[in-house]
Chain A
Amino acid sequence: MTAPVVPDAAGAATPALRRTPLRWLVGVDRLAVAGAALLALIVLAALLAPWIAPHPEDGGSATHPLEALLPPSAEHWFGTDQVGRDVLSRVLYGARTSLLIAVAVLAISGGVGVVLGVVAGYAGGWVRDVIMRVTDVFLAFPALLLSLALAVVLQPSVTTVIVAIAVTWWPWYARLTASVAASVATRAFVDSARCLGVPAPLIVFRHVLPNSLTPVLVQLSLDGGGVILTAAALSYLGLGAHEPTSEWGLMVQQGQSLFTTNWWVVTFPGLAILITAFAFNVLGEGLRARLTR
């Protein structure tokens, strides 16, 4: 997991994204562009899974026990798993599950975290204290441990994974936003708005929030990989997605003991996790390098 890096005060004040983000990135970091491209490819694969998977029914509930554990071949590029399903098809369908989880977790935890953070940062005083102490409580637990505990209590499912991870991730965004918002709140344009009699909620959401978002956006893109890894870990432990849903962590778990005899079952979903997490990280790093300079 990547620990969020709180940018320094200068970083907090960087201008918002310009109109052509890709060209703007190229100037900065080729690797970041590669990450964005890779991610676009993965998203595309996920969206088009039903059309590009060689055996789309294997991504769902089909099983073929008599074709179990066939090695990679022209028919099955990534081989078949222990109940005879095409591993390539399941990896493609698994991208849907993983990206769905990543987007949902980031939307929920980012949304909750940013709102609470910006309120805390702007209001200061006891409001800030209360919100920050709550985040302290959550941050006191290792994120995966808390997610694990939650997932154990709830029935294992993709929804459970989303909830379990979102609950443990929002405090990071709350803290990050709060620290940035606090510095934004002291700046002249906020003072001016206040003097003009603009109501506090409007100041918070029209002036403070947009100017506090940059580091959070960086963090969100960096965390995409972390969410996918955590989700995979939960599924791997049997607490996340369950059969017959295609999920990379689940596939790795099921293929693990076959590694020395049927390497393909665990290798391809493992690579999928690696590549996706890598794409998110590289993109995030590139964004951070550009935005927090």
Chain B
Amino acid sequence: MRWHKRLLAAGAVAALTLTATACGGGKIRGGADGSEGSTQPGTSQNAQNPSSAADATFVYVPNLDVVTDWDPASSYSNEILAMQNIYESLTRYNPQTKQAEPRLATSWTSSDDGKKWTFTLRQGATFHTGKPVDAAAAKAAIERTMKMGAGAAYIWDAVKKIEAKDSSTLKFTLKYPTALDLVASAGYASYVYDTTAAGSGDLKTWFGEGHDAGSGPYTIDTWEKGKETELTLKAFDDYWGGWDGPRYKKIAYRVTPELTTAWQLLRGGEVTFVARLNPQLFAEAGGTPTVQAAQTPSFQNLLTLFNTHSGPLKDVRLRQALQKAIDYDGVVAVLKGAGAPAAGLVPEGLLGHNAGQTPRQDLAGAEALLKEAGYGPGGKKLELTLTYAQGDSDQEVLVTLLSSTLDKLNVKLSAKPLQWTTQWDQAKAKDPAKRQDILVMYWWPDYADAFSWFVNIFRSEDPISFNLSYLRDDAIDKRINELPQLTATDRDAAEKAYAELQNKIINERAAVAVPYVMNYQRAFAKSVQGYVDNPAYPNVVFVHDLKPGA
């Protein structure tokens, strides 16, 4: 589920554990067997000779386990890396044009009121099970996803009815207007798959055994949970996009938690693509002739969520003081390109981005607010708890700078690095006293739209899921609920609504601070041709689009 994707860096800690517990014998995978030099048969060989193109293998290095959920209906985690190469949705988002483009659907129309959408499906596409991809199959898949209601299934909330008019015409009737072409391009829960793949058996169990029922260019070859090369995919020969010209016919996912190791593997030509390095290693990659380095703005920002419901931060003045204490420029300076200054909650490139809302450090202001609340230098000592992602060196920079600044303001920050599941469980604790005061996490949208930040994080919730500032505000809820319809019908009004909401949430309620927006920094083999980062699908490489060059 979602937490894994939020913690791509967390795996790094596994290696830390191993080195640190040399006498304790921590058994966490990744370091001991993942050290350099242990060549993977059949993968490194091809990566080293990418010009022997016939069945070149694309070796992707994630720093966290790849697969947690094989079911395309509920998958909401790191396996997106593989799923997007195995499964397809009706449309795909193009960050250049900022529009949804054809994928399994070749064209689509919507009624004037935005409540009826008709998609025309591609002719000749087949599932890996051999069954043709037709409107009835697409209807069955999306309906199953909606019915299960897991993961990102909420994206289909606007859908009232789906009809398969004929084999290639899929008609959606909506409850309220929504940009359904954009929804259909989502990174999760949007997949079209063969719901009959398991025959009379249980489909979820069948998926769980490592089978797939997609229509994409690749299909599962081997899957060994816990192995260093956890997953390999092989070409699906009948793919509608064809296999003309040089293509990568195989993909291997080689889990390497330690950034330095990942970099050494890439430099040594053993792997093809590393999704994340630290700024220093990325700079080294830029100066290495056998490697390409690419930096792209992302839709992923870091959120510092303040506990508005219980504990000392119930006092809005203290939350505002914390907002002012963050060294925004300092964090961005230290990240050296891996982070860009944030403005508001919504990253640049999405409707709702509020360019004017750039936060600044203001220590005098922070001190004044603390004093007003009875704390600060000379006042009571304020003790706060903070949780963040274990092993994420970027978040660590924020924590270091913040705790140092707060130390000067007579605020003691106890920061605890945790695995996401632990961090999340603590944040969701039934007893508010057990929750943290400050939670640091990444967020990115499920499709290229700002709605996700608001509906998932700041709309009142009971029980708590992702509303981890515990904000409860009927007025804010009401405005959030209006957003999808406004976005589909009146973009100016939507823009205004987003600006107002951000002002309310950030300035008035001070529920959150946004220290920076990530820039994705990828490093990959020189031989890879045609790579374009698509921030709507974080960390995904659409391998079929690439050419293995010399």
A interface residues (Cβ-Cβ under 8 A, vs B): 1, 60-63, 65-66, 68-69, 82-84, 142-145, 148, 155-157, 229, 233, 236-238, 242-244, 249, 253-254, 256-262
CB nearest neighbor in A for B267: A260
Q: How far is the CA of A166 from the CA of B284 in the complex (A)?
A: 43
Contact A258:B280 (CB < 8 A) given known A83-B397, A233-B20, A243-B404: yes
Whether the Cβ atoms of B400 and A261 lie closer than 8 Å is no
B303 at interface by CB-CB < 8 Å: no
Taking CB atoms, residues of chain A closer than 8 Å to B333 are: 65-66, 68
Instruction: Select the stretch in B104-112, B246-254, B410-418 that faces chain A.
Output: B410-418
Whether the Cβ atoms of B407 and A236 lie closer than 8 Å is no
CB distance from A264 to the nearest CB of B (A): 12
Whether the Cβ atoms of A256 and B385 lie closer than 8 Å is no
Taking CB atoms, residues of chain B closer than 8 Å to A155 are: 385, 414, 416
Complex A-B, nearest 8 residue pairs according to Cβ-Cβ distance, in ascending order: A65-B330, A144-B24, A61-B407, A261-B280, A238-B417, A243-B403, A61-B404, A244-B404
Taking CB atoms, residues of chain B closer than 8 Å to A144 are: 21, 23-24
CB distance from A25 to the nearest CB of B (A): 29
CB distance from A97 to the nearest CB of B (A): 15
Instruction: Select the stretch in B54-62, B67-75, B78-86, B258-266 that faces chain A.
Output: B258-266
B307 at interface by CB-CB < 8 Å: no
A-B contact pairs, 16 of them (CB 8 A): A60-B404, A61-B407, A63-B401, A65-B334, A65-B401, A66-B330, A82-B393, A156-B416, A238-B416, A238-B417, A244-B403, A244-B404, A257-B281, A258-B280, A261-B280, A261-B284
Q: How far is the CA of A244 from the CA of B407 in the complex (A)?
A: 8
Contact A83:B17 (CB < 8 A) given known A257-B258, A261-B280: no
Taking CB atoms, residues of chain B closer than 8 Å to A236 are: 16, 20
What band does the interface of chain B fall in when counting residues whose beta carbon is under 8 Å from A? 35 or more
Q: How far is the CA of A256 from the CA of B403 in the complex (A)?
A: 21
B interface residues (Cβ-Cβ under 8 A, vs A): 12-13, 16-17, 19-21, 23-25, 258-260, 263-264, 278, 280-281, 283-284, 327, 329-331, 333-334, 385, 390, 393, 396-397, 399-401, 403-405, 407-408, 413-417
CB distance from B361 to the nearest CB of A (A): 11
Whether the Cβ atoms of B20 and A82 lie closer than 8 Å is no
Q: How far is the CA of A60 from the CA of B401 in the complex (A)?
A: 12
Whether the Cβ atoms of B281 and A233 lie closer than 8 Å is no
Q: Among the listed A143, A242, A249, A254, which residue makes an inter-chain contact with B415, where contact means beta carbons less than 8 Å apart?
A: A242
Contact A65:B329 (CB < 8 A) given known A142-B24, A243-B404, A257-B258: yes
Residue with the greatest number of chain B CB neighbours at <10 A, chosen from A144, A244, A249: A244
Taking CB atoms, residues of chain A closer than 8 Å to B413 are: 242-243
CB distance from A59 to the nearest CB of B (A): 11
Taking CB atoms, residues of chain B closer than 8 Å to A145 are: 24
Known contacts A237-B17, A253-B20, A258-B280, then 19 further A-B pairs from the complex at CB < 8 Å, ordered by chain A residue = A60-B404, A61-B404, A63-B330, A63-B400, A65-B329, A82-B393, A82-B397, A83-B404, A142-B25, A156-B415, A157-B414, A242-B413, A243-B400, A243-B404, A244-B404, A256-B16, A257-B12, A257-B258, A260-B260
Whether the Cβ atoms of A156 and B260 lie closer than 8 Å is no
Whether the Cβ atoms of A238 and B23 lie closer than 8 Å is no
Taking CB atoms, residues of chain A closer than 8 Å to B390 are: 238
Whether the Cβ atoms of B404 and A242 lie closer than 8 Å is no
Whether the Cβ atoms of A65 and B327 lie closer than 8 Å is yes
Taking CB atoms, residues of chain A closer than 8 Å to B260 are: 256-257, 259-260
CB nearest neighbor in B for A84: B334
Q: How far is the CA of A238 from the CA of B10 in the complex (A)?
A: 13
Taking CB atoms, residues of chain A closer than 8 Å to B407 are: 60-61, 244
Whether the Cβ atoms of A257 and B331 lie closer than 8 Å is no
CB nearest neighbor in B for A256: B16
CB distance from B48 to the nearest CB of A (A): 21
Taking CB atoms, residues of chain A closer than 8 Å to B399 are: 243
Whether the Cβ atoms of B404 and A62 lie closer than 8 Å is yes
CB distance from A154 to the nearest CB of B (A): 10
CB nearest neighbor in A for B390: A238
Majority secondary structure of chain A interface residues (helix, strand, loop or mixed): loop
Taking CB atoms, residues of chain B closer than 8 Å to A261 are: 280-281, 283-284
Taking CB atoms, residues of chain B closer than 8 Å to A259 are: 260
CB distance from B296 to the nearest CB of A (A): 22
Taking CB atoms, residues of chain B closer than 8 Å to A258 are: 278, 280
CB distance from A241 to the nearest CB of B (A): 11
Whether the Cβ atoms of A242 and B330 lie closer than 8 Å is no
CB distance from A204 to the nearest CB of B (A): 35
Q: How far is the CA of A156 from the CA of B386 in the complex (A)?
A: 11
Residue with the greatest number of chain A CB neighbours at <10 A, chosen from B20, B24, B331, B385: B20
Taking CB atoms, residues of chain A closer than 8 Å to B284 are: 260-261
Q: How far is the CA of A249 from the CA of B413 in the complex (A)?
A: 19
Q: How far is the CA of A157 from the CA of B413 in the complex (A)?
A: 11
Q: How far is the CA of A236 from the CA of B12 in the complex (A)?
A: 13
Q: How far is the CA of A61 from the CA of B412 in the complex (A)?
A: 11
CB nearest neighbor in B for A262: B280
CB nearest neighbor in A for B402: A243
Contact A233:B278 (CB < 8 A) given known A244-B404, A257-B393, A261-B284: no
Taking CB atoms, residues of chain A closer than 8 Å to B408 are: 61
CB distance from A167 to the nearest CB of B (A): 15
Q: How far is the CA of A242 from the CA of B415 in the complex (A)?
A: 7
Taking CB atoms, residues of chain B closer than 8 Å to A61 are: 403-405, 407-408
CB distance from A237 to the nearest CB of B (A): 6
Q: How far is the CA of A68 from the CA of B331 in the complex (A)?
A: 11
Q: How far is the CA of A259 from the CA of B259 in the complex (A)?
A: 11
Taking CB atoms, residues of chain A closer than 8 Å to B259 are: 257
CB nearest neighbor in B for A258: B280
CB distance from A140 to the nearest CB of B (A): 14
Taking CB atoms, residues of chain A closer than 8 Å to B403 are: 61, 242-244
Whether the Cβ atoms of A233 and B21 lie closer than 8 Å is yes
Taking CB atoms, residues of chain A closer than 8 Å to B397 are: 82-83
CB distance from B306 to the nearest CB of A (A): 19
Whether the Cβ atoms of A254 and B396 lie closer than 8 Å is yes
Whether the Cβ atoms of B404 and A257 lie closer than 8 Å is no
CB nearest neighbor in B for A60: B407
CB distance from A31 to the nearest CB of B (A): 23
CB nearest neighbor in B for A1: B23
Taking CB atoms, residues of chain B closer than 8 Å to A84 are: 334
Taking CB atoms, residues of chain A closer than 8 Å to B396 are: 254
Contact A253:B16 (CB < 8 A) given known A63-B330, A83-B400, A244-B404: yes
Whether the Cβ atoms of B20 and A237 lie closer than 8 Å is yes
CB distance from A142 to the nearest CB of B (A): 6
CB nearest neighbor in A for B15: A256
Contact A68:B16 (CB < 8 A) given known A63-B400, A233-B24, A261-B284: no
Q: Among the listed B16, B21, B280, B327, which residue makes an inter-chain contact with A69, where contact means beta carbons less than 8 Å apart?
A: B280
CB distance from B379 to the nearest CB of A (A): 17
Q: How far is the CA of A257 from the CA of B15 in the complex (A)?
A: 11
Q: How far is the CA of A209 from the CA of B294 in the complex (A)?
A: 69
CB nearest neighbor in B for A257: B259
Whether the Cβ atoms of A82 and B334 lie closer than 8 Å is yes
CB distance from A13 to the nearest CB of B (A): 32
CB distance from A12 to the nearest CB of B (A): 28
CB nearest neighbor in B for A61: B407
Taking CB atoms, residues of chain A closer than 8 Å to B400 are: 63, 82-83, 243-244, 254
Taking CB atoms, residues of chain A closer than 8 Å to B416 are: 155-156, 238, 242
Taking CB atoms, residues of chain A closer than 8 Å to B393 are: 82, 254, 257
Q: How far is the CA of A254 from the CA of B25 in the complex (A)?
A: 21
